[in-house]
């Protein structure tokens, strides 16, 4: 039977520095180098002690007062997600896979709760901008042509009055044309006021039309960001749960086979011993950090296992987990005299 060790060590990297309000992102960036160095030095318990105090007891309140505050809240949540990921990684390297699953579950719950908060915050903004865009469309459609019409009409009145005053155009004071011109002059202030209003409002509505798609994209990007948080949290949780379940199933199958062979079972000891007997189950994992992480898992399953403890101690001392012991030199046969 092939015994397969299971590890889930998610990759952790610095996240982009967030604005001043997003202190959790800053906290993650500040803690990551030290924690990473501890793990490289095989100081997983010390790393665990450090990360246990960096995650807040509760998810920070989501501020949906406006786009700026929403952005800051999302940055803060990105920092919290990274802290969860780091904490789960360190917990896993200490062999506490079940505890790492709990951290991933909390990560997913908080990500989903953030999406709910985001929807509540962005719903009114989306509705407002939908109405703004509709109003801007209606106003622009209605008044663009009216702006051109008024501009042309008022210029025509000004030109005709100027022509009459300069005697370039003669009109009989009692003529119909003079009456029509006087009527147009009388309407001039009203039409000028209407044109001034359109000239002032039209650029605003056009700018709103230009901004509406940008706002919609921003809201969509915000939602996509949180949906990505949820998706990656789901994937991490599934992977963590699978690692625990697969290992549990393997131990159960192994123990069942041993019982059928009339071998006495002592908890997880039989399986752990079998894993250690095939030393490549440890040595093939890669570097000392990965090997130490799996040995910590074996010690979690069988805390008093001397073989696992010795292998881990060897790694921490800078040795191979299973150093080959030098064989005593053979004594040369004494020559007969």
Q: What is the pLDDT of residue 171?
A: 67
- At 6, phi and psi to the nearest 5? -125, 130
CA 260 to each of CA 212, 255, 265, 291: distance values in angstroms, whole numbers, following the listed order = 71, 9, 11, 31
Determine the average pLDDT of the residues in 87-101. 97
At 254, the pLDDT band (50, 70, 90 cuts) reads: very high
- At 125, phi and psi to the nearest 5? -65, -45
CA 52 to each of CA 22, 45, 77, 108, 272: distance values in angstroms, whole numbers, following the listed order = 20, 11, 18, 18, 28
Instruction: Report pLDDT digits (tens) over 276-288.
Output: 999 999 999 989 9
Determine the average pLDDT of the residues in 243-248. 97
- At 105, phi and psi to the nearest 5? -65, -45
Instruction: Report pLDDT digits (tens) over 187-235.
Output: 777 878 878 888 899 999 999 999 999 999 999 999 999 999 999 999 9
pTM of the predicted protein model: 0.80
At 10, the pLDDT band (50, 70, 90 cuts) reads: very low
Rg (C-alpha) for the chain, rounded Å, is 38
Task: Compute the distance between CA of residue 38 and CA of residue 289 in angstroms, rounded to an integer.
Answer: 10
Q: What is the pLDDT of residue 16?
A: 46
The answer to whether 139 and 202 have CB atoms below 8 angstroms apart is: yes
Q: Which residue, chain included where needed, has tokens 């505890």?
A: 99
Determine the average pLDDT of the residues in 83-100. 97
The 8-class DSSP code of residue 171 comes to -
CB atoms within 10 A of CB 99: 16
């Amino acid at each position: 039977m092939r015994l397969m060790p299971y590890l889930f060590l998610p990759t952790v990297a610095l996240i982009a520095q967030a604005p001043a309000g997003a202190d959790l992102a800053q906290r993650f960036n500040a803690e990551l180098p030290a924690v990473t160095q501890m793990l490289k030095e095989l100081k997983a318990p010390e790393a665990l002690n450090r990360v246990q105090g960096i995650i807040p007891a509760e998810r920070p309140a989501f501020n949906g007062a406006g786009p700026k505050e929403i952005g800051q809240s999302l940055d803060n949540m990105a920092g919290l997600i990274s802290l969860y990921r780091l904490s789960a990684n360190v917990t896993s390297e200490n062999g506490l896979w079940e505890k790492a699953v709990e951290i991933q579950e909390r990560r997913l719950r908080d990500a989903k709760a953030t999406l709910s908060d985001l929807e509540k915050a962005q719903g009114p903004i989306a509705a407002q901008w939908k109405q703004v865009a509709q109003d801007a469309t209606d106003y622009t459609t209605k008044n663009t042509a009216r702006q051109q019409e008024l501009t042309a009409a008022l210029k025509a009145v000004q030109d005709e009055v100027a022509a009459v005053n300069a005697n370039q155009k003669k009109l009989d004071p009692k003529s119909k044309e003079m009456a029509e011109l006087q009527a147009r002059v009388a309407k001039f202030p009203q039409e000028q006021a209407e044109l001034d209003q359109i000239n002032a409002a039209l650029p605003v509505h056009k700018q709103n039309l230009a901004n509406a798609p940008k706002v919609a994209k921003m809201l969509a990007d915000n939602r996509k960001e949180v949906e990505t948080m949820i998706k990656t949290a789901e994937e991490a949780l599934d992977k963590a749960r699978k690692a625990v379940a697969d290992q549990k199933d393997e131990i159960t199958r192994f123990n069942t086979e041993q019982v059928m062979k009339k071998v006495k079972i002592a908890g997880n000891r039989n399986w752990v011993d079998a894993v250690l007997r095939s030393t490549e189950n440890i040595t093939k994992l890669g570097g000392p950090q990965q090997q130490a992480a799996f040995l910590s898992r074996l010690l979690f399953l069988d805390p008093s296992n001397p073989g696992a403890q010795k292998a881990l101690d060897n790694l921490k001392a800078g040795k191979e987990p299973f150093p080959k012991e030098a064989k005593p030199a053979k004594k040369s046969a004494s020559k007969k005299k």
